[in-house]
Structure 1
Amino acid sequence: MKRKRTTRNSLKSCSSSESLSQTESIEAFHLPDDCWISIFREIIDGDDDNNLCYLQPLSLASKHFLSITNRLRFSLTISNPTLQYSIPTLFHRFLNLTSLHITIFQGKLNSLLCQISKFPFKLKSLKLSNQTQFPAKGLRALSKTITTVTSFTYLYIDNIDNNDFVLVSHCFPLLEELDMQHNRMCFQGVEVGLKAMLTALPKLRKINLSGYYFINDLLLLYLCNNCEFLEDIIMLKCPLLTRHGIASAIRQRPTLRSLCSYQCGNISSHFIDSLLSLKGLTCLDLSYANISDELFTSIATEDLPWRRLVLQYCNGYSFAGIFSLLSKCRCIQHLDLKKADFLIDHHVVNLSLFLADLVSINLSECCKLTDSALFTLVNKCPLLSDIKMEHTSIGENIVENSNSLLNFVLNPPLKSLYLAHSSLLTDESLIMMASLFPNLQLLDLSNCDNISGEGICQVLTRCCKIRHLNLDYCSGVKLRGMNLEFPKLEVLNLSHTSIDDETLYVISKNCCGLWQLLLESCGNVTNKGVKHVVENCSKLREINLKSCDKVCADIVDSMYTGCSYATFGLKAISLEVAA
């Protein structure tokens, strides 16, 4: 018995020793939370909330990882039909929120803001949009406990008065960015409240007051005189503003870096002189203006630091004028020449000599441009990642010139390509193009009538990184032949197409990573097809079924019960079902 006890004690001691050794081994590989946060941030490429989906597997691995990933969410959007009773749970989970967006919220907005005020958030950005009333009570409560807001956005509110403007400045005296644009023309005069607000916001750097009819030259002058740190002005759809008034006002604010205000008509030398006096101006929008080549030439005599130049729907100038301007503005990163319909492929070849820093370009509605212009830009602009060439002649020459593309250098930075309304684009030309742009993440082919589902499947095979695909109004697309998986596809727009339940079944099996599916006006889709998607696409957050006449309203309940909320999605499903 004694020997047995000794043996038993020895075994117990040995077991304890092994257990201690295992514990020490586990602790030896334990990393502090700060290290895990750094690792996770590398996975999602910084603090970009759009990439949080990549943390879903990690958040499911353990409670510890879940708590860490919760701390990496800094922004949250609340919209109907977000379940109101679940909102406090979200706030308890994401205590590091610095940005909050509340949109189309049909509950009691004042109560929601009061509820938010009880959490220890250090919000820097608050955005309210598409609401029916100004939540004065809620903003007062929130501002008493959250005093860190420096950016306030208040969009598309039906009713606003002088007191509302004053209240904004009282609640958020540290504001640096203010966006209170109106989507419809607002004729209600609130000049008194606006002036009082501007006086009380000494740190304001950026302001957007588009859509207010009453804004005139005197109000703009008041703004420039009273906001000494002002850098960015956006005032679109303000018909009482004149170019002469803008020129006089901006001379009072030499710190301006960006100016955006559409006024049709001629640009005077007085206006140009005022622009040239802004030595720090990096962004200029002259859309809809009448500009002569002589004015461009006079501007080009200066050393211009412009990074963004927008000339949408401008007229009066020619290739000679834009050539002389860009020859001086060699640091342009974002160029918008929409509707410069005099441009031809050879012009683009010449302009590309000055666009080594170009990141994005818009050449939509330049109807004479073909794929030759596209390939020139990609070859000559090594940083180019975003190209818009909608309503052009893309696809006209690509097959005929296929031999000249054999030496084409693949362009890794090109991530977004917009080719909507390219009636000459065929499957053959599209497939050839896709093979040259393997790193595309967004492809917009809406209203391209001559492409088919087979062509699209070939594109997805060659461009396996595509996350956003727009096939709106592509009447020939059905995608029934999709026989490979495309897990990276997150947004798919099939609105106004002839797809049916069979197509949805194929999509649900091969595109399991879908977050957003748009099916507006797809008359052949029924409840059966929708259920296939809901059951197989577990990450789905939004589906649009507006004007799908064969889909019954009772599908809504089954979608809420059938679609599981993944740990990091937390964006409510948006449903628009025909009555």
Structure 2
Amino acid sequence: MALFHSEKRFHSIVAEASSSTRLPYHNSPSSFSFLVSPIEATTARGTGHISCLFPEILTIIFSHLDVRDKGRVARVCLAWKEAAYNKTVWKGVEARLHLRRTHPALFPSLVQRGIQRIQVVSVKRSVSDLVEGVPGLRSLNLSGCYNVTDVIMTHALSHDLPSLVSLNLSLCKVITDSTIACIAGHQKQLQELELGGCAQITTNALLLLACGLSNLRRLNLRSCCKITDEGVAYLTGQSHTVPTGTAMLEHIVLQDCQKITDVSLKYLSLGFSQLKSVNLSFCTGVTDSGLECLSRMPSLQELDLRACDGISDHGVGYLAEGLTRLSVLHLSFCDRITDTALLHISHGLIHLTALSLCDCSISDEGIQHLIGSSQDIVKLNIGQCDRLTDASLELIAQNFTQLHTIDIYGCTRITKLGVKHLRDQPHISAINMELFAAS
């Protein structure tokens, strides 16, 4: 019972289990009598001992444990092992493996428990052994495995894996377009592909993806420094070479792709009618003209423009005119964002739930603009905005009734009085003042 941290927690889980199995439950010394077999109940010392619970009840209880404890209860006895190996206990769990010389029962054990999501922490053994040993694999995460090469990946992915829908190769820094060619040629059902930090990936890789992965929903190209506007044209079907592209894409990350310009944003607006989120942070080639293109994408819900030095209040005005469904907007470290941008936001982006303005040139006047039109904001970042005073925090505390989290670190003109305005509001649960200087 120590696995559940307290007897109260244990009883609440058993009560939930009994509810799921439509059995009555009462928190009393004989609470378990209805959950055990009659023979076991009479042979056990006292009634209702946990060792006598029906396997179905044990399975529901074990499903509430963390991954490590799920493994521990499987080693208690054969009855518990049988209950703990039920696939419902491991539903949605991602196993973390060091891929080295392993016990021959490892992969069959993963299959028996129904585990379909695996993160490889280190690679000292062929990845192909893994994909062959776990044929129902749906998600494979190799992020940070620096020694993964084209040879390793092409060997593992050179045949169809019909269940695989998610592949993470972030920070696998030595893979090249050869691996992408193999993925595009054989993993046609792939829906999520993470390539962040794969600096050897080029524009040709995007041509391969556009030709082969028509079902792709999420693509991360963070810091793929060789990606150009031409590659985005391939993805969006705006090139004669690939007339369709990955038209089903809903989420794309182009963070720190320094060769991306407003031309790419034009392609995004023309080719991705279902796009929900775009990350363009640190793309210094993006300007207000590009934001005008994005304003024609009414399906867009999340937009990250952190450290895009080329955008200004004017670009935010474009966004406010067209992106009526936008709920998350990041503008931190954009030097040209001022109070005027907040005025635009108040007129058009009335459904924002998260707004980031760290180190922007805003003042109390800008916060005043937001009052009355940004009532849904749950998370607000105004850290390092050194023109803000206690007056802004008083306005925020009194008017942002849905606010849960606020960052005010580095706001040097804010005092303890301003912080008190926030702390007096029960709906604000987190105040970040890590760099806060009170006077």
TM-score by length of 2: 0.74
Q: 1:416 aligns with which of 277, 295, 301?
A: 277
Task: Work out the CA distance in 2 between the residues paired with 1:442 and 1:334.
Answer: 18
Please tell me whether residue 200 in structure 1 is matched to residue 58 in structure 2: no
What's the offset of the Cα at 1:456?
1.9
Query: What code does the residue aligned with 1:260 have?
Result: I
Which 10-residue stretch deviates more, 453-462 or 529-538?
Answer: 529-538
Task: Specify the alignment match of 2:322 in structure 1.
Answer: 462
Please tell me whether residue 174 in structure 1 is matched to residue 60 in structure 2: yes
Please tell me whether residue 374 in structure 1 is matched to residue 232 in structure 2: yes
Q: 2:141 aligns with which of 269, 276, 285?
A: 285
Structure number with larger C-alpha Rg: 1
Task: Work out the CA distance in 1 between the residues paired with 2:202 and 2:11.
Answer: 58
TM-score by length of 1: 0.58
What's the offset of the Cα at 1:479?
3.7
Please tell me whether residue 548 in structure 1 is matched to residue 404 in structure 2: no
Task: Work out the CA distance in 2 between the residues paired with 1:136 and 1:374.
Answer: 54
What's the offset of the Cα at 1:365?
1.2
259 and 536 in structure 1: CA distance in 2 versus 1, 3 angstrom threshold: closer
Task: Work out the CA distance in 1 between the residues paired with 2:331 and 2:67.
Answer: 31
What secondary structure does 1:446 align onto? coil
Name the % identity. 19
What secondary structure does 1:253 align onto? helix
Please tell me whether residue 312 in structure 1 is matched to residue 170 in structure 2: yes
Task: Work out the CA distance in 1 between the residues paired with 2:413 and 2:80.
Answer: 55
Task: Work out the CA distance in 1 between the residues paired with 2:195 and 2:366.
Answer: 38
Task: Specify the alignment match of 1:103 in structure 2.
Answer: none
Please tell me whether residue 439 in structure 1 is matched to residue 299 in structure 2: yes
What's the offset of the Cα at 1:488?
1.3
Please tell me whether residue 498 in structure 1 is matched to residue 368 in structure 2: no
Task: Specify the alignment match of 1:472 in structure 2.
Answer: 332
Query: What code does the residue aligned with 1:360 have?
Result: R
Task: Work out the CA distance in 2 between the residues paired with 1:177 and 1:389.
Answer: 38
What's the offset of the Cα at 1:473?
2.4
Task: Specify the alignment match of 1:523 in structure 2.
Answer: 386
Q: 1:387 aligns with which of 244, 252, 263?
A: 252
Task: Work out the CA distance in 1 between the residues paired with 2:157 and 2:261.
Answer: 35
Task: Work out the CA distance in 1 between the residues paired with 2:413 and 2:67.
Answer: 38
Q: Which runs of 5+ in 2 are unaligned?
A: 21-49, 238-244
Q: 1:428 aligns with which of 289, 309, 312?
A: 289
Q: Alpha-carbon deviations, 1:359-408, whole Å to 9, x = none?
A: 11111110111344334323422221111111112543628x96xx5x97
420 and 177 in structure 1: CA distance in 2 versus 1, 3 angstrom threshold: farther
Q: 2:311 aligns with which of 451, 454, 475?
A: 451
Q: 2:193 aligns with which of 315, 332, 335?
A: 335
Q: 2:107 aligns with which of 229, 250, 257?
A: 250
430 and 250 in structure 1: CA distance in 2 versus 1, 3 angstrom threshold: same
Task: Specify the alignment match of 1:575 in structure 2.
Answer: 431
Task: Work out the CA distance in 1 between the residues paired with 2:249 and 2:132.
Answer: 28
Task: Specify the alignment match of 2:352 in structure 1.
Answer: 489
Decide whether the 8 Å contact of 1:203 with 1:227 is kept in 2.
Answer: yes
What's the offset of the Cα at 1:292?
3.5
Decide whether the 8 Å contact of 1:247 with 1:274 is kept in 2.
Answer: no
Task: Work out the CA distance in 2 between the residues paired with 1:201 and 1:524.
Answer: 61
452 and 198 in structure 1: CA distance in 2 versus 1, 3 angstrom threshold: farther
Q: Which runs of 5+ in 1 are unaligned?
A: 1-133, 151-166, 183-188, 205-225, 566-570
Q: Alpha-carbon deviations, 1:424-469, whole Å to 9, x = none?
A: 222223323x144232100011222332232222223222211100
Decide whether the 8 Å contact of 1:514 with 1:539 is kept in 2.
Answer: yes
What's the offset of the Cα at 1:265?
4.6
What's the offset of the Cα at 1:333?
0.6
Q: Which runs of structure 2 are paired with 1:16-415 in the superposition (5 Å)?
A: 135-143=5-13, 145-147=15-17, 174-175=60-61, 177=63, 180=66, 195-196=75-76, 200=80, 202-204=82-84, 230=90, 234-236=94-96, 241-245=98-102, 249-255=106-112, 256-268=114-126, 271-289=127-145, 290-305=147-162, 306-379=164-237, 380-393=245-258, 395-396=260-261, 398=263, 409=270, 411-415=272-276
RMSD: 3.7
Decide whether the 8 Å contact of 2:184 with 2:208 is kept in 1.
Answer: no
Query: What code does the residue aligned with 2:311 have?
Result: I
What secondary structure does 1:261 align onto? strand
Task: Work out the CA distance in 2 between the residues paired with 1:415 and 1:198.
Answer: 48
Query: What code does the residue aligned with 2:80 have?
Result: A
Aligned length: 385
Q: Alpha-carbon deviations, 1:250-283, whole Å to 9, x = none?
A: 1443354534334345542xx4134213221111
Task: Work out the CA distance in 2 between the residues paired with 1:196 and 1:493.
Answer: 49
Decide whether the 8 Å contact of 1:288 with 1:313 is kept in 2.
Answer: yes
What secondary structure does 2:367 align onto? helix
